Structure 1
Protein backbone atom coordinates (compact mmCIF):
# COMPACT_ATOMS: atom_id res chain seq x y z
CA UNK A 1 0.00 0.00 0.00
CA UNK A 2 1.53 3.35 -1.07
CA UNK A 3 0.83 6.15 1.34
CA UNK A 4 2.49 9.55 1.64
CA UNK A 5 2.09 10.82 5.15
CA UNK A 6 2.87 14.03 6.89
CA UNK A 7 3.57 14.37 10.57
CA UNK A 8 1.72 17.49 11.71
CA UNK A 9 1.29 19.28 14.99
CA UNK A 10 2.23 17.02 17.87
CA UNK A 11 1.40 19.40 20.71
CA UNK A 12 -1.89 19.48 22.62
CA UNK A 13 -3.10 23.01 23.20
CA UNK A 14 -0.14 24.63 21.40
CA UNK A 15 -1.00 24.03 17.76
CA UNK A 16 -1.21 27.75 17.05
CA UNK A 17 2.40 28.15 18.07
CA UNK A 18 3.50 25.65 15.48
CA UNK A 19 1.15 26.84 12.76
CA UNK A 20 0.36 23.30 11.63
CA UNK A 21 -1.94 20.58 12.83
CA UNK A 22 -2.43 16.93 12.23
CA UNK A 23 -5.49 16.57 10.02
CA UNK A 24 -7.17 13.61 11.62
CA UNK A 25 -10.55 12.51 10.38
CA UNK A 26 -12.51 10.99 13.24
CA UNK A 27 -15.78 9.17 13.42
CA UNK A 28 -18.58 10.95 15.26
CA UNK A 29 -20.86 9.00 17.56
CA UNK A 30 -21.44 5.47 16.27
CA UNK A 31 -21.72 6.30 12.60
CA UNK A 32 -19.61 7.75 9.79
CA UNK A 33 -18.32 11.30 9.71
CA UNK A 34 -16.81 13.28 6.83
CA UNK A 35 -13.06 13.84 6.78
CA UNK A 36 -11.85 17.37 7.54
CA UNK A 37 -11.39 19.71 4.63
CA UNK A 38 -8.14 19.11 2.80
CA UNK A 39 -7.75 15.49 3.85
CA UNK A 40 -8.21 12.25 2.02
CA UNK A 41 -9.58 9.18 3.73
CA UNK A 42 -7.56 5.99 3.41
CA UNK A 43 -9.68 3.66 5.50
CA UNK A 44 -6.48 3.00 7.42
CA UNK A 45 -4.89 4.12 10.66
CA UNK A 46 -5.82 7.37 12.32
CA UNK A 47 -3.70 10.37 11.51
CA UNK A 48 -3.19 9.55 7.80
CA UNK A 49 -3.55 12.59 5.59
CA UNK A 50 -2.41 13.83 2.24
CA UNK A 51 -2.10 17.46 3.33
CA UNK A 52 -1.91 19.56 6.44
CA UNK A 53 -5.05 21.40 7.50
CA UNK A 54 -5.70 24.46 9.68
CA UNK A 55 -5.00 24.00 13.37
CA UNK A 56 -8.36 22.73 14.58
CA UNK A 57 -7.62 19.09 15.49
CA UNK A 58 -5.47 17.52 18.15
CA UNK A 59 -3.00 14.84 17.06
CA UNK A 60 -3.80 11.21 17.68
CA UNK A 61 -3.35 9.55 21.04
CA UNK A 62 -3.43 12.63 23.26
CA UNK A 63 -7.03 12.12 24.38
CA UNK A 64 -8.72 9.23 26.14
CA UNK A 65 -12.10 10.30 24.76
CA UNK A 66 -12.86 11.90 21.43
CA UNK A 67 -15.75 12.23 18.97
CA UNK A 68 -18.06 10.12 21.11
CA UNK A 69 -15.59 7.26 21.66
CA UNK A 70 -13.69 6.47 24.87
CA UNK A 71 -10.80 4.13 25.62
CA UNK A 72 -11.65 2.41 28.91
CA UNK A 73 -8.93 0.32 30.60
CA UNK A 74 -10.31 -2.27 32.99
CA UNK A 75 -7.41 -1.66 35.39
CA UNK A 76 -4.89 1.14 34.82
CA UNK A 77 -2.77 0.00 37.79
CA UNK A 78 -0.52 -3.05 37.29
CA UNK A 79 2.75 -4.47 38.63
CA UNK A 80 5.95 -4.21 36.64
CA UNK A 81 8.18 -7.20 35.98
CA UNK A 82 5.56 -9.77 35.04
CA UNK A 83 3.45 -10.29 31.90
CA UNK A 84 0.34 -8.14 32.18
CA UNK A 85 -3.08 -9.05 30.82
CA UNK A 86 -4.41 -5.79 29.43
CA UNK A 87 -8.18 -5.66 29.12
CA UNK A 88 -10.04 -2.69 27.71
CA UNK A 89 -13.12 -1.60 25.80
CA UNK A 90 -13.93 1.08 23.27
CA UNK A 91 -17.08 2.80 24.52
CA UNK A 92 -19.51 4.62 22.25
CA UNK A 93 -21.41 7.81 23.02
CA UNK A 94 -24.10 5.74 24.72
CA UNK A 95 -21.56 4.25 27.16
CA UNK A 96 -21.82 0.77 25.69
CA UNK A 97 -18.89 -1.21 24.33
CA UNK A 98 -18.42 -0.98 20.56
CA UNK A 99 -18.45 -4.43 18.95
CA UNK A 100 -18.19 -3.64 15.24
CA UNK A 101 -14.94 -2.45 13.64
CA UNK A 102 -13.52 -2.17 10.16
CA UNK A 103 -10.33 -4.18 9.59
CA UNK A 104 -7.36 -1.95 8.87
CA UNK A 105 -4.08 -3.47 7.72
CA UNK A 106 -5.39 -6.95 8.46
CA UNK A 107 -6.53 -6.18 12.03
CA UNK A 108 -9.59 -4.61 13.65
CA UNK A 109 -7.47 -2.79 16.22
CA UNK A 110 -3.79 -2.04 16.69
CA UNK A 111 -2.50 -1.52 20.23
CA UNK A 112 0.75 0.36 20.87
CA UNK A 113 2.27 0.42 24.37
CA UNK A 114 5.25 2.67 25.19
CA UNK A 115 6.74 3.94 28.45
CA UNK A 116 6.76 7.69 28.97
CA UNK A 117 10.55 7.76 28.66
CA UNK A 118 10.22 6.05 25.24
CA UNK A 119 12.76 3.40 26.20
CA UNK A 120 10.59 0.65 24.71
CA UNK A 121 7.81 -0.09 22.26
CA UNK A 122 5.24 -2.83 21.79
CA UNK A 123 2.93 -3.32 18.83
CA UNK A 124 0.20 -5.72 19.94
CA UNK A 125 -2.87 -7.17 18.28
CA UNK A 126 -5.45 -7.92 20.97
CA UNK A 127 -8.39 -10.25 20.59
CA UNK A 128 -11.99 -9.10 21.02
CA UNK A 129 -14.68 -10.98 22.92
CA UNK A 130 -18.30 -10.89 21.82
CA UNK A 131 -19.14 -8.30 24.50
CA UNK A 132 -16.57 -5.85 23.09
CA UNK A 133 -13.80 -6.50 25.65
CA UNK A 134 -10.32 -6.56 24.13
CA UNK A 135 -7.41 -8.41 25.72
CA UNK A 136 -3.67 -8.65 25.08
CA UNK A 137 -0.61 -9.67 27.04
CA UNK A 138 1.96 -6.89 27.44
CA UNK A 139 5.50 -6.95 28.81
CA UNK A 140 6.07 -4.14 31.33
CA UNK A 141 9.62 -4.80 32.51
CA UNK A 142 10.13 -1.55 34.42
CA UNK A 143 8.06 0.53 36.81
CA UNK A 144 6.62 3.80 35.57
CA UNK A 145 3.85 5.25 33.46
CA UNK A 146 3.11 3.76 30.07
CA UNK A 147 0.94 5.18 27.30
CA UNK A 148 -1.53 2.83 25.65
CA UNK A 149 -2.70 3.75 22.15
CA UNK A 150 -5.76 2.12 20.57
CA UNK A 151 -5.72 2.63 16.79
CA UNK A 152 -8.99 1.57 15.12
CA UNK A 153 -11.80 2.38 12.71
CA UNK A 154 -15.39 1.89 13.91
CA UNK A 155 -17.75 0.12 11.51
CA UNK A 156 -19.34 2.61 9.14
CA UNK A 157 -16.79 5.35 9.77
CA UNK A 158 -14.88 6.97 6.91
CA UNK A 159 -11.75 7.55 9.00
CA UNK A 160 -10.06 5.89 11.95
CA UNK A 161 -8.94 7.45 15.18
CA UNK A 162 -6.40 6.87 17.90
CA UNK A 163 -7.25 7.13 21.60
CA UNK A 164 -4.67 7.08 24.37
CA UNK A 165 -4.71 6.29 28.09
CA UNK A 166 -2.08 6.03 30.83
CA UNK A 167 -1.14 2.71 32.41
CA UNK A 168 0.71 2.80 35.73
CA UNK A 169 3.16 0.00 36.57
CA UNK A 170 4.16 -0.24 40.24
CA UNK A 171 7.69 -1.16 41.25
CA UNK A 172 11.16 0.28 41.70
CA UNK A 173 11.07 3.34 39.46
CA UNK A 174 14.36 4.25 37.79
CA UNK A 175 13.75 7.08 35.29
CA UNK A 176 15.92 6.88 32.19
CA UNK A 177 17.08 9.49 29.73
CA UNK A 178 15.86 9.32 26.15
CA UNK A 179 17.70 6.43 24.47
CA UNK A 180 20.52 7.54 22.19
CA UNK A 181 21.14 6.08 18.76
CA UNK A 182 23.24 6.90 15.77
CA UNK A 183 22.25 6.75 12.13
CA UNK A 184 22.65 2.98 12.22
CA UNK A 185 21.22 0.46 14.66
CA UNK A 186 21.51 -3.31 14.90
CA UNK A 187 18.57 -5.53 15.86
CA UNK A 188 18.31 -9.32 15.71
CA UNK A 189 21.35 -9.50 13.44
CA UNK A 190 20.00 -6.91 11.00
CA UNK A 191 21.59 -3.51 10.43
CA UNK A 192 19.19 -0.68 9.66
CA UNK A 193 20.53 2.65 8.40
CA UNK A 194 18.48 5.85 8.59
CA UNK A 195 18.80 8.32 5.75
CA UNK A 196 17.07 11.59 4.97
CA UNK A 197 15.95 14.62 6.93
CA UNK A 198 13.14 15.42 9.33
CA UNK A 199 12.63 19.17 9.03
CA UNK A 200 9.93 21.33 10.70
CA UNK A 201 7.39 22.73 8.28
CA UNK A 202 8.82 21.13 5.18
CA UNK A 203 8.20 17.77 3.59
CA UNK A 204 11.19 15.47 3.82
CA UNK A 205 12.03 11.91 3.00
CA UNK A 206 13.20 9.24 5.41
CA UNK A 207 14.74 6.09 3.96
CA UNK A 208 15.54 3.07 6.09
CA UNK A 209 17.87 0.52 4.51
CA UNK A 210 17.99 -3.03 5.84
CA UNK A 211 21.10 -5.23 5.51
CA UNK A 212 22.32 -8.44 7.11
CA UNK A 213 25.91 -9.63 7.29
CA UNK A 214 26.83 -6.71 5.04
CA UNK A 215 24.41 -7.74 2.29
CA UNK A 216 21.20 -5.90 1.28
CA UNK A 217 18.00 -7.65 2.34
CA UNK A 218 15.84 -7.91 -0.77
CA UNK A 219 13.21 -10.39 0.38
CA UNK A 220 11.33 -8.45 3.05
CA UNK A 221 7.85 -9.86 3.56
CA UNK A 222 4.68 -7.79 3.75
CA UNK A 223 3.80 -6.97 7.34
CA UNK A 224 0.17 -5.98 7.93
CA UNK A 225 -0.25 -5.22 4.26
CA UNK A 226 2.84 -3.03 3.75
CA UNK A 227 6.59 -3.35 3.30
CA UNK A 228 7.09 -1.77 6.71
CA UNK A 229 5.46 0.38 9.37
CA UNK A 230 6.85 3.41 11.15
CA UNK A 231 5.42 4.62 14.47
CA UNK A 232 6.55 8.12 15.43
CA UNK A 233 6.23 9.39 19.01
CA UNK A 234 7.36 12.84 20.06
CA UNK A 235 9.26 13.06 23.33
CA UNK A 236 7.40 15.04 25.96
CA UNK A 237 3.77 14.48 25.01
CA UNK A 238 3.95 11.14 23.14
CA UNK A 239 1.73 12.39 20.32
CA UNK A 240 1.28 9.45 17.97
CA UNK A 241 1.44 8.82 14.26
CA UNK A 242 1.46 5.49 12.42
CA UNK A 243 3.18 6.05 9.09
CA UNK A 244 3.04 3.79 6.06
CA UNK A 245 5.68 3.62 3.33
CA UNK A 246 5.44 5.02 -0.16
CA UNK A 247 7.63 2.21 -1.48
CA UNK A 248 6.53 -1.33 -2.34
CA UNK A 249 9.79 -3.10 -3.19
CA UNK A 250 10.74 -5.95 -0.80
CA UNK A 251 13.86 -4.12 0.34
CA UNK A 252 16.46 -3.17 1.05
CA UNK A 253 15.04 0.37 1.23
CA UNK A 254 11.76 1.36 2.90
CA UNK A 255 10.80 4.97 2.24
CA UNK A 256 8.51 7.40 4.04
CA UNK A 257 7.59 11.02 3.33
CA UNK A 258 7.01 13.12 6.43
CA UNK A 259 6.71 16.67 7.69
CA UNK A 260 7.57 17.61 11.28
CA UNK A 261 6.02 20.76 12.74
CA UNK A 262 8.38 21.72 15.54
CA UNK A 263 11.75 21.43 17.18
CA UNK A 264 12.20 18.52 19.52
CA UNK A 265 13.23 14.88 19.78
CA UNK A 266 11.29 12.07 18.17
CA UNK A 267 11.42 8.31 18.57
CA UNK A 268 10.97 6.37 15.35
CA UNK A 269 10.11 2.65 15.54
CA UNK A 270 10.37 0.75 12.25
CA UNK A 271 8.65 -2.65 12.04
CA UNK A 272 9.77 -4.93 9.21
CA UNK A 273 9.36 -8.64 8.49
CA UNK A 274 11.73 -11.23 7.08
CA UNK A 275 11.77 -15.02 7.30
CA UNK A 276 8.37 -14.93 9.04
CA UNK A 277 9.68 -12.90 12.00
CA UNK A 278 8.93 -9.26 12.79
CA UNK A 279 11.79 -7.02 13.88
CA UNK A 280 11.84 -3.45 15.20
CA UNK A 281 14.58 -0.88 14.72
CA UNK A 282 14.37 2.22 16.93
CA UNK A 283 15.94 5.62 16.35
CA UNK A 284 16.04 8.88 18.29
CA UNK A 285 16.15 11.86 15.93
CA UNK A 286 15.93 15.63 16.11
CA UNK A 287 13.73 17.63 13.77
CA UNK A 288 16.62 18.58 11.49
CA UNK A 289 16.89 14.89 10.67
CA UNK A 290 20.08 14.25 12.63
CA UNK A 291 20.06 11.15 14.75
CA UNK A 292 20.95 11.78 18.37
CA UNK A 293 24.66 10.96 18.83
CA UNK A 294 25.26 7.61 20.44
CA UNK A 295 26.43 4.05 19.84
CA UNK A 296 25.32 2.18 16.76
CA UNK A 297 24.14 -0.69 18.91
CA UNK A 298 23.22 -0.51 22.58
CA UNK A 299 23.31 -3.41 25.07
CA UNK A 300 20.55 -5.98 24.92
CA UNK A 301 17.35 -5.07 26.75
CA UNK A 302 14.92 -7.15 28.82
CA UNK A 303 13.65 -10.44 27.50
CA UNK A 304 10.76 -10.35 25.08
CA UNK A 305 7.70 -12.64 25.19
CA UNK A 306 8.12 -16.27 24.19
CA UNK A 307 8.44 -16.77 20.46
CA UNK A 308 9.82 -13.28 19.79
CA UNK A 309 13.47 -12.54 18.95
CA UNK A 310 15.30 -10.57 21.63
CA UNK A 311 16.15 -6.99 20.58
CA UNK A 312 19.77 -5.89 20.56
CA UNK A 313 19.31 -2.14 20.73
CA UNK A 314 18.41 -1.73 24.38
CA UNK A 315 14.71 -1.58 23.51
CA UNK A 316 11.84 -3.48 25.05
CA UNK A 317 10.19 -4.56 21.81
CA UNK A 318 7.33 -7.00 21.38
CA UNK A 319 4.81 -7.97 18.73
CA UNK A 320 1.60 -9.94 19.07
CA UNK A 321 -0.22 -11.53 16.14
Structure 2
Protein backbone atom coordinates (compact mmCIF):
# COMPACT_ATOMS: atom_id res chain seq x y z
CA UNK A 1 0.00 0.00 0.00
CA UNK A 2 1.49 3.37 -0.99
CA UNK A 3 1.69 6.36 1.34
CA UNK A 4 -1.34 8.10 -0.19
CA UNK A 5 -3.57 5.05 0.29
CA UNK A 6 -2.39 4.62 3.89
CA UNK A 7 -3.41 8.21 4.68
CA UNK A 8 -6.94 7.41 3.52
CA UNK A 9 -7.22 3.97 5.12
CA UNK A 10 -6.05 4.81 8.64
CA UNK A 11 -8.76 7.43 9.40
CA UNK A 12 -11.41 5.08 7.99
CA UNK A 13 -10.27 2.26 10.24
CA UNK A 14 -10.26 4.55 13.28
CA UNK A 15 -13.77 5.77 12.48
CA UNK A 16 -15.05 2.23 12.15
CA UNK A 17 -13.51 1.27 15.48
CA UNK A 18 -15.15 4.21 17.25
CA UNK A 19 -18.56 3.46 15.76
CA UNK A 20 -18.43 -0.19 16.76
CA UNK A 21 -17.20 0.38 20.32
CA UNK A 22 -20.35 0.93 22.35
CA UNK A 23 -19.96 -1.43 25.32
CA UNK A 24 -19.96 -0.08 28.87
CA UNK A 25 -18.05 -1.13 31.97
CA UNK A 26 -19.85 -2.17 35.15
CA UNK A 27 -18.40 -0.87 38.37
CA UNK A 28 -19.59 0.51 41.69
CA UNK A 29 -16.92 3.11 42.26
CA UNK A 30 -16.88 6.85 41.86
CA UNK A 31 -17.73 7.85 38.31
CA UNK A 32 -18.48 4.31 37.19
CA UNK A 33 -20.32 3.62 33.96
CA UNK A 34 -23.52 1.60 34.00
CA UNK A 35 -24.71 -1.08 31.62
CA UNK A 36 -27.59 -0.09 29.41
CA UNK A 37 -27.45 3.67 29.16
CA UNK A 38 -30.26 5.20 27.11
CA UNK A 39 -32.06 2.12 25.88
CA UNK A 40 -34.82 3.89 24.01
CA UNK A 41 -35.36 5.16 20.47
CA UNK A 42 -31.64 5.84 20.21
CA UNK A 43 -30.85 2.12 20.09
CA UNK A 44 -31.01 1.87 16.31
CA UNK A 45 -29.61 5.28 15.43
CA UNK A 46 -27.12 6.04 18.19
CA UNK A 47 -25.19 3.24 19.85
CA UNK A 48 -23.86 5.62 22.54
CA UNK A 49 -20.47 7.12 23.19
CA UNK A 50 -17.38 5.36 21.95
CA UNK A 51 -15.83 3.25 24.69
CA UNK A 52 -12.56 5.18 24.60
CA UNK A 53 -14.33 8.53 24.99
CA UNK A 54 -16.55 7.35 27.81
CA UNK A 55 -13.66 5.87 29.75
CA UNK A 56 -12.03 9.29 29.82
CA UNK A 57 -15.14 10.98 31.24
CA UNK A 58 -15.91 10.88 34.96
CA UNK A 59 -18.48 12.38 37.27
CA UNK A 60 -16.96 13.45 40.58
CA UNK A 61 -19.64 13.36 43.30
CA UNK A 62 -19.12 15.37 46.49
CA UNK A 63 -21.46 15.69 49.46
CA UNK A 64 -21.51 18.57 51.94
CA UNK A 65 -20.91 16.08 54.75
CA UNK A 66 -18.83 12.92 54.90
CA UNK A 67 -21.65 11.46 56.99
CA UNK A 68 -24.91 12.76 55.53
CA UNK A 69 -27.89 12.47 57.84
CA UNK A 70 -31.31 11.17 56.91
CA UNK A 71 -34.13 13.76 56.72
CA UNK A 72 -31.66 16.63 56.65
CA UNK A 73 -30.59 18.75 53.69
CA UNK A 74 -27.46 17.44 52.01
CA UNK A 75 -25.74 19.39 49.26
CA UNK A 76 -24.69 17.17 46.37
CA UNK A 77 -22.24 18.55 43.82
CA UNK A 78 -21.27 16.84 40.59
CA UNK A 79 -18.29 17.84 38.46
CA UNK A 80 -17.96 16.35 34.97
CA UNK A 81 -14.31 15.91 34.04
CA UNK A 82 -12.31 14.42 31.19
CA UNK A 83 -8.68 13.60 30.67
CA UNK A 84 -6.31 14.84 33.38
CA UNK A 85 -9.39 15.72 35.50
CA UNK A 86 -10.02 18.80 33.40
CA UNK A 87 -13.64 20.03 33.55
CA UNK A 88 -15.81 19.22 30.55
CA UNK A 89 -17.49 22.57 30.13
CA UNK A 90 -19.81 21.84 27.20
CA UNK A 91 -22.79 19.53 27.74
CA UNK A 92 -25.77 19.11 25.45
CA UNK A 93 -29.30 19.68 26.66
CA UNK A 94 -31.12 16.34 26.79
CA UNK A 95 -34.86 16.58 27.43
CA UNK A 96 -34.66 20.14 28.70
CA UNK A 97 -31.77 19.53 31.12
CA UNK A 98 -28.01 19.22 30.91
CA UNK A 99 -27.93 16.67 33.72
CA UNK A 100 -30.49 14.31 35.20
CA UNK A 101 -29.80 12.91 38.68
CA UNK A 102 -31.50 9.68 39.74
CA UNK A 103 -31.36 8.66 43.42
CA UNK A 104 -32.42 5.19 44.56
CA UNK A 105 -32.18 3.28 47.82
CA UNK A 106 -30.41 -0.07 47.83
CA UNK A 107 -33.70 -2.01 47.89
CA UNK A 108 -35.09 0.29 45.13
CA UNK A 109 -38.08 1.25 47.28
CA UNK A 110 -37.04 4.92 47.10
CA UNK A 111 -36.73 6.70 43.75
CA UNK A 112 -36.08 10.38 43.08
CA UNK A 113 -35.48 12.00 39.68
CA UNK A 114 -34.10 15.52 40.20
CA UNK A 115 -32.20 18.18 38.29
CA UNK A 116 -29.22 19.90 39.90
CA UNK A 117 -28.57 23.54 39.15
CA UNK A 118 -26.10 24.16 36.34
CA UNK A 119 -23.24 26.12 37.92
CA UNK A 120 -21.27 26.31 34.66
CA UNK A 121 -18.07 24.64 33.48
CA UNK A 122 -19.51 21.14 33.92
CA UNK A 123 -20.43 21.69 37.55
CA UNK A 124 -23.86 20.97 39.07
CA UNK A 125 -25.28 21.30 42.56
CA UNK A 126 -28.48 20.48 44.43
CA UNK A 127 -29.73 20.22 48.02
CA UNK A 128 -31.77 17.10 48.72
CA UNK A 129 -32.89 14.90 51.60
CA UNK A 130 -32.66 11.14 52.02
CA UNK A 131 -35.70 9.59 53.72
CA UNK A 132 -33.84 7.10 55.94
CA UNK A 133 -30.42 5.77 56.81
CA UNK A 134 -28.77 3.22 54.54
CA UNK A 135 -27.11 2.88 51.16
CA UNK A 136 -28.19 4.89 48.12
CA UNK A 137 -26.96 5.00 44.57
CA UNK A 138 -26.67 8.25 42.63
CA UNK A 139 -26.83 8.18 38.81
CA UNK A 140 -25.71 11.22 36.81
CA UNK A 141 -27.15 11.14 33.29
CA UNK A 142 -25.66 13.60 30.75
CA UNK A 143 -24.37 14.13 27.19
CA UNK A 144 -20.94 15.73 26.67
CA UNK A 145 -20.96 17.75 23.46
CA UNK A 146 -19.71 15.64 20.57
CA UNK A 147 -20.16 12.38 22.46
CA UNK A 148 -23.07 10.06 23.21
CA UNK A 149 -25.23 9.88 26.32
CA UNK A 150 -23.43 8.71 29.45
CA UNK A 151 -24.37 7.55 32.93
CA UNK A 152 -21.97 7.66 35.87
CA UNK A 153 -22.79 6.53 39.37
CA UNK A 154 -21.75 6.52 43.01
CA UNK A 155 -22.86 4.56 46.05
CA UNK A 156 -23.19 6.58 49.27
CA UNK A 157 -24.11 5.74 52.86
CA UNK A 158 -26.57 7.89 54.80
CA UNK A 159 -26.60 7.97 58.60
CA UNK A 160 -29.78 7.55 60.64
CA UNK A 161 -32.47 4.98 61.32
CA UNK A 162 -32.77 2.61 58.41
CA UNK A 163 -36.11 1.83 56.82
CA UNK A 164 -37.31 -1.76 56.80
CA UNK A 165 -36.07 -3.33 53.54
CA UNK A 166 -38.75 -3.92 50.92
CA UNK A 167 -38.47 -7.20 49.04
CA UNK A 168 -38.29 -6.81 45.27
CA UNK A 169 -40.97 -9.21 44.03
CA UNK A 170 -42.03 -9.50 40.38
CA UNK A 171 -45.67 -8.50 39.95
CA UNK A 172 -48.23 -10.65 38.14
CA UNK A 173 -50.68 -7.75 37.86
CA UNK A 174 -49.16 -4.82 35.98
CA UNK A 175 -51.95 -2.34 36.72
CA UNK A 176 -51.51 0.35 39.40
CA UNK A 177 -53.60 3.25 40.65
CA UNK A 178 -51.50 6.35 41.28
CA UNK A 179 -52.82 9.86 42.00
CA UNK A 180 -56.24 9.06 40.60
CA UNK A 181 -54.85 7.44 37.44
CA UNK A 182 -55.10 3.79 36.52
CA UNK A 183 -51.90 2.81 34.73
CA UNK A 184 -51.35 -0.52 32.98
CA UNK A 185 -47.99 -1.68 31.63
CA UNK A 186 -47.83 -4.16 28.74
CA UNK A 187 -45.00 -5.69 26.67
CA UNK A 188 -45.10 -7.13 23.18
CA UNK A 189 -42.54 -9.67 24.43
CA UNK A 190 -40.22 -9.86 27.38
CA UNK A 191 -36.85 -11.39 26.60
CA UNK A 192 -33.33 -10.36 27.58
CA UNK A 193 -31.13 -9.17 24.76
CA UNK A 194 -34.01 -8.39 22.41
CA UNK A 195 -35.77 -5.13 21.59
CA UNK A 196 -38.91 -4.82 23.70
CA UNK A 197 -41.88 -2.54 23.13
CA UNK A 198 -43.54 -1.48 26.36
CA UNK A 199 -46.77 0.46 26.51
CA UNK A 200 -48.23 2.41 29.40
CA UNK A 201 -52.01 2.89 29.12
CA UNK A 202 -53.38 5.62 31.36
CA UNK A 203 -57.02 6.03 32.40
CA UNK A 204 -58.94 8.01 34.98
CA UNK A 205 -59.19 5.63 37.94
CA UNK A 206 -62.76 6.62 38.86
CA UNK A 207 -64.45 6.87 35.46
CA UNK A 208 -62.14 4.45 33.57
CA UNK A 209 -62.10 6.96 30.71
CA UNK A 210 -58.84 7.14 28.73
CA UNK A 211 -56.70 10.16 29.54
CA UNK A 212 -55.87 11.89 26.27
CA UNK A 213 -54.42 15.16 27.54
CA UNK A 214 -51.13 14.16 29.13
CA UNK A 215 -48.77 17.13 29.23
CA UNK A 216 -45.12 17.04 28.14
CA UNK A 217 -42.77 16.14 30.96
CA UNK A 218 -39.22 17.28 30.23
CA UNK A 219 -40.17 17.71 26.60
CA UNK A 220 -41.82 14.32 26.08
CA UNK A 221 -45.00 12.42 26.91
CA UNK A 222 -43.08 10.57 29.60
CA UNK A 223 -39.82 9.11 30.79
CA UNK A 224 -38.92 5.64 32.04
CA UNK A 225 -36.04 4.55 34.27
CA UNK A 226 -35.21 0.86 34.62
CA UNK A 227 -32.84 -0.73 37.14
CA UNK A 228 -31.85 -4.31 37.78
CA UNK A 229 -32.35 -5.68 41.29
CA UNK A 230 -28.74 -4.91 42.28
CA UNK A 231 -28.80 -1.48 40.56
CA UNK A 232 -25.91 -2.46 38.27
CA UNK A 233 -27.97 -2.34 35.06
CA UNK A 234 -29.40 1.09 34.27
CA UNK A 235 -31.67 2.23 31.43
CA UNK A 236 -33.14 5.71 30.93
CA UNK A 237 -35.76 5.20 28.26
CA UNK A 238 -37.44 7.88 26.16
CA UNK A 239 -40.74 7.43 24.31
CA UNK A 240 -40.89 6.39 20.67
CA UNK A 241 -43.47 9.14 20.06
CA UNK A 242 -42.49 12.05 22.26
CA UNK A 243 -45.50 14.17 21.20
CA UNK A 244 -48.13 11.60 22.21
CA UNK A 245 -50.71 12.78 24.76
CA UNK A 246 -52.22 9.48 25.90
CA UNK A 247 -53.89 7.26 26.70
CA UNK A 248 -50.92 5.25 25.45
CA UNK A 249 -47.25 6.11 25.94
CA UNK A 250 -44.97 3.76 24.04
CA UNK A 251 -41.32 3.02 24.73
CA UNK A 252 -38.70 0.67 23.31
CA UNK A 253 -35.68 -0.74 25.11
CA UNK A 254 -33.52 -3.84 25.51
CA UNK A 255 -33.02 -5.54 28.85
CA UNK A 256 -29.32 -6.46 28.89
CA UNK A 257 -29.63 -9.68 30.92
CA UNK A 258 -32.19 -11.99 32.48
CA UNK A 259 -33.37 -11.15 35.98
CA UNK A 260 -35.62 -8.94 38.08
CA UNK A 261 -35.97 -5.27 37.14
CA UNK A 262 -37.85 -2.32 38.59
CA UNK A 263 -39.43 0.13 36.16
CA UNK A 264 -40.52 3.67 36.97
CA UNK A 265 -42.74 5.51 34.48
CA UNK A 266 -43.05 9.28 34.89
CA UNK A 267 -45.83 11.36 33.34
CA UNK A 268 -47.50 14.75 33.77
CA UNK A 269 -51.22 15.49 33.89
CA UNK A 270 -52.95 18.74 34.82
CA UNK A 271 -49.68 20.27 36.01
CA UNK A 272 -48.73 17.38 38.31
CA UNK A 273 -46.01 14.81 37.69
CA UNK A 274 -46.79 11.28 38.85
CA UNK A 275 -44.50 8.26 39.04
CA UNK A 276 -45.70 4.68 38.69
CA UNK A 277 -43.43 1.73 39.57
CA UNK A 278 -43.57 -1.87 38.35
CA UNK A 279 -41.41 -4.92 39.06
CA UNK A 280 -40.95 -7.53 36.32
CA UNK A 281 -38.91 -10.67 35.77
CA UNK A 282 -37.15 -10.80 32.41
CA UNK A 283 -36.45 -14.32 31.06
TM tier relative to shorter chain: 0.7 to 0.9
Q: Which residue of 2 aligns with 1:139?
A: 129
Q: Provide closer, same or farther for how the CA distance between residues 73 and 261 of structure 1 changes in structure 2, counting only shifts above 3 A.
A: closer
Task: Specify whether residues 287 and 70 from structure 1 end up closer, same or farther in structure 2 by C-alpha distance, changes over 3 A only.
Answer: same
Q: How many residues align?
A: 242
Counterpart position of 1:242: 236
State the match for 2:5 in structure 1.
Answer: none
CA contact (8 A) 1:185 1:281 kept: yes
Residue of structure 2 in register with 1:67 after alignment: 55
What is residue 184 of structure 1 aligned with on the other side? 175
Contact 2:91 2:122 survives alignment (8 Å): no
2:269 aligned to which of 274, 290, 306? 274
Distance in 2 of aligned mates of 1:99 and 1:86:
19
Aligned-partner SS, 2:85: coil
Q: 1:202 to 1:81 in 2, by over 3 A?
A: same
Corresponding residue for 1:298?
A: none
1:164 aligns with 153
CA distance in 1, matches of 2:212, 2:271: 14
CA distance 1:99–1:34, change in 2 (3 Å): farther
Secondary structure of 2:84's counterpart equals: coil
From the superposition, tell whether residues 51 and 200 of structure 1 become closer, same or farther in structure 2 (CA, over 3 Å).
Answer: farther
Q: Choose the corresponding residue for 1:225, options 214, 219, 222.
A: 219
SS at 2:212 equivalent: coil
Q: Alpha-carbon deviation of 1:133? A: 3.1
Q: Distance in 1 between matches of 2:197 and 2:282?
A: 12
Q: Secondary structure at the match of 2:75?
A: strand
CA contact (8 A) 1:113 1:148 kept: yes
CA shift in 2, pair 1:96/1:203, >3 Å: closer
1:49 aligned to 2:40? no
Superposition TM-score, scaled by structure 2 size: 0.76
Match of 2:25 in 1: none
Cα separation, 2, equivalents of 1:202 and 1:102: 29
Q: SS of 2:155's equivalent? A: strand
Shift of 1:279: 1.0
Residues 1:211 and 1:139: Cα distance change in structure 2 (over 3 Å): farther
In structure 2, the residue matched to 1:152 is: 142
Task: Please show how residues 86-165 of structure 1 align to structure 2 within 5 Å.
Answer: 86-130=76-120, 132-155=122-145, 157-165=146-154
Q: Which residue of 2 aligns with 1:61?
A: none
C-alpha RMSD of matched pairs (Å): 2.8
Distance change in 2, residues 1:105/1:120 (3 Å): same
Q: How far apart are the structure 1 equivalents of 2:113 and 2:226?
A: 12
In terms of fraction of residues, the more strand-rich structure is 2
Q: Deviations 1:285-319 (Å, cap 9, x if unpaired)?
A: 1115xxxxxxxxxxxxxxxxxxxxxxxxxxxxxxx
Q: What are structure 1's unaligned runs of at least 5 residues?
A: 1-32, 40-44, 58-64, 289-321
Q: From 192, 201, 208, give the equivalent of 2:200.
A: 208
Structure 1 residues 181-207: Cα deviation after superposition (integer angstroms, max 9, x where no partner): 531112111111111232123333211
| Runs of at least 5 residues in structure 2 that lack an aligned partner in the other structure | 1-15, 23-36
User: Of the two, which has the highest radius of gyration?
Assistant: 2
Distance in structure 2 (CA, Å) of the matches to 1:230 and 1:101:
22
Separation of aligned partners in 2, 1:191 and 1:234: 25
